[in-house]
Amino acid sequence: MAYSSNPPLGDSLEQVYSSHHGWLHAWLWRKLGSREDAADLAQDTFLRLLSSKPSERLLEPRAYLRTVASGLVVNHWRRLELERAYLDALAARPELVEPSPEQRALVLETLMRIDAMLDRLAPKVRQAFLMSQLDGLTYLQIARQLGVSDRMIKKYMAQAMLQCMLLLDQ
């Protein structure tokens, strides 16, 4: 990200917003196909800019805004994908055991937290953890599939379990 030695960003945030909000909203609308979602993510992008408080003025505000907004779009799509998968699973259940709206919201929030925790894991750690928890494989089976020692799998699992414990503390 390129900066100049101009006055601090806080002095020009209003100018960046007024100069680039319309462009950002249009860019997001083309990506998402929804004016409402585009408006929400445009606001979130500027909130991130406000909270990041770079010490100097941005030389390329559109590039910065596009980078931040792209990350938010990915998170938005990930959340929609998780929500769709959850709703599909609910649709397959008999009506008598359908959870309340509050239970659904809690489950979706938990799924998002688990997804974020898994996303923080290194790829092999995440893969080993999922193979153990979802596929029920032993450490030795996982080690063979990943081409590492079973001792390394124990280290991977310890890292994953630590993240699970941290998730519980949140």
**Rounded average pLDDT over 100-113:** 87
Domain ranges of the chain: 9-86, 121-169
Residue 130 in contact with residue 119, Cβ under 8 Å?
no
What does the block give as tokens for 163? 């993240």
Residues 9-42 have pLDDT tens digits of 444 778 888 889 999 999 999 999 999 999 999 9
**Rounded average pLDDT over 56-67:** 82
Q: Determine the Cα–Cα distance for residues 90 and 163; give it in Å rounded to an integer.
A: 28
What's the whole-model pTM score? Answer: 0.54
Is residue 3 classed as helix, strand or coil in its secondary structure? Answer: strand
- pLDDT level of residue 100 (50, 70, 90 thresholds): confident
- pLDDT level of residue 122 (50, 70, 90 thresholds): very high
Residues 47-60 have pLDDT tens digits of 888 877 665 567 78
Q: Which residue has the tokens 């999922």?
A: 130
CA-based nearest residue to 87, from 101, 75, 77: 101
